[in-house]
Chain A
Amino acid sequence: MDWLNAIVQGILLGGLYAMFATGLSLIFGVMRLVNIAHGDLIVLASFLALAVVEGFAMHPLVSLVVVVPAMAAFGYVLQRGMLNLTLGRDILPPLLVTFGLSVIIQNALLETFSADSQRLQAGALETASLTIADGFSIGVLPLIVFLAAIGIIWGLQTVFYRTALGRAFRATSDDATTARLMGIDNGHVFALAMAVALAVVAVAGVFLAIRTNFDPSIGPARLLFAFEAVIIGGLGNLWGTLVGGIILGVAQAIGAQINPGWQLLAGHIAFLVVLVIRPQGLFPKMQG
């Protein structure tokens, strides 16, 4: 039963990792930009939620109403005002600039909120559980996170494959120059993609803040999990990213069952195994 519990926890944790990874995958897919600040943006969303919850005395999940639009708007401005300028033939400028952004975000959060560990209180939701069978139950909150991840990915797939905006995303990703010939304003499309990605980051940040203790420094580790989930799942495939997240979560859970100190290592080993056996990922849809 312990093992079953562990694996199920791992699957549900995979939903959170998939949520971390979705924004990263989207940005790389549309504009070939690797956002080193991605994990820190998740933590930024967590602290934004903290400020909103403390300022307006609302439930963390209600803070989504403020945090999601705020992060989306920030994403649009960030892309249009700064990151668009780094895009070009060279892969280095976006990496350097987003690395700098990562440092700035961490230190700004440190200045504003101190290094204290924080946590968002979600009340009864945190400990509520559903009993599936004798001795086997799953937490309501992890289940909500998992379902939210599925919902977000389903929503993004719908946008990508059934809307004009999604067509513009896919066309710009294929061939940015010819997309301009169609009348697509690349700067605007990239900014919209970043806005969508940061909206997802906002949801991930709020759920992270409820689930674990967070402080300004935990961003890079989230980036690593997001990266691993994307690579395991395969580039350019959002459902693949969900699978990647689940595999990572389950690996960590199994590792923790064997020995609590092996949790993170088990995840990294799973990532390395996939990288060695199938470097393009399990369900790749595009070349890097």
Chain B
Amino acid sequence: MTPPPDTPRPATPLLETRGLEAFYGDFQALFGIDFTVGEGETVAIIGSNGAGKSTFLKSITGLIANDKDAIRYEGGAIGSLPAHRVVRLGIAMVPEGRRLFPSLSVEENLLIGATAKRRGTWTLDSVYDLFPILKERRHNPGTALSGGQQQMVAVGRALMANPRLLLCDEISLGLAPVVIKDIYAAVPRITREGTTVVVVEQDINQAMAVADRVYCFQEGRVSLEGRPGALSREQITAAYFGM
């Protein structure tokens, strides 16, 4: 059961889910998730492994099939749309583990992000502006870069779709703290250009630092929701571990 929120809900949510369920075959991974994010907000989702965070993002982007009305975006029901249609509507994901295409160069990885052909501020030039190191390495194979640089390519690739909503799945995974700071430094710039950001994060401090609101998932349910400043350590720990 979702605890009552202690924050005012955004007026017209950009994305909302109501009672979202998700299954892998017979295994139920999500049990009735209620979630909203308003335009311009930055929302973080925290939780331990197996809590259902990645499953949630995959449901939104259409990699997992869901009930049509369980996910509403810009007012429309998108729950059963396939992934390649969802990105054309303006929802892009930076997938867990980066998942760059090894046969493509850095620049080609970025270019393929623009397959959806959406207009907007994000072009090759503006992405190189955001992550200058990538311009130097534009013709290298995507996987010949350091972990942090690969993460930048993955984020840039998602931006090339000029999304209204950017979903980031564990972008800090496997990276050194200094590198994580560098990448998260790009988030304010991204939101300034008009993209709403939802991050799934294992690193609680990083999540609290970047987000306007935080959700905590625990075993497929929302166990806590609120503004970072309004949540105590004890509340978070209890919600995180399901105590």
Question: Footprint of B on A, CB under 8 Å?
Answer: 164, 167-168, 170-171, 173-175, 177-186
Bound-state CA distance A164–B114 (Å) is 10
Between A and B, how many residue pairs show CB distances below 8 Å? 60
* B101→A178 contact, CB < 8 A: yes
Question: Footprint of A on B, CB under 8 Å?
Answer: 61-63, 82-84, 87-88, 92-93, 95, 99, 101-104, 108, 111-113, 115-117, 157, 161
Knowing A168-B112, A168-B115, A181-B63, the reply to whether A186 touches B84 (Cβ < 8 A) is: yes
Knowing A167-B108, A177-B63, the reply to whether A182 touches B113 (Cβ < 8 A) is: yes
The minimal Cβ–Cβ distance linking A89 to chain B, given in whole angstroms, is 13
The contact sample of 28 A-B pairs, CB cut-off 8 A, is A164-B111, A167-B104, A167-B108, A167-B112, A168-B112, A170-B101, A170-B104, A171-B112, A173-B103, A174-B101, A175-B99, A175-B101, A177-B63, A180-B62, A180-B82, A181-B63, A181-B87, A181-B92, A182-B84, A182-B87, A182-B112, A182-B115, A182-B116, A182-B157, A182-B161, A183-B84, A183-B117, A183-B161
Bound-state CA distance A247–B189 (Å) is 57
Bound-state CA distance A182–B108 (Å) is 12
The minimal Cβ–Cβ distance linking A264 to chain B, given in whole angstroms, is 36
Bound-state CA distance A108–B215 (Å) is 62
Chain A residues lying within 8 Å of B117, measured Cβ to Cβ, are 183
Closest to B92 in A: A181
Identify the 9 closest CB pairs spanning chains A and B, nearest first: A183-B116, A180-B83, A183-B115, A170-B103, A178-B99, A174-B101, A183-B87, A171-B101, A182-B115
Chain A residues lying within 8 Å of B108, measured Cβ to Cβ, are 167
* A180→B101 contact, CB < 8 A: no
* B61→A167 contact, CB < 8 A: no
Chain B residues lying within 8 Å of A183, measured Cβ to Cβ, are 84, 87-88, 115-117, 161
**Most chain B C-beta atoms within 10 Å of own C-beta, residue among A171, A179, A184, A185:** A171
Bound-state CA distance A170–B142 (Å) is 13
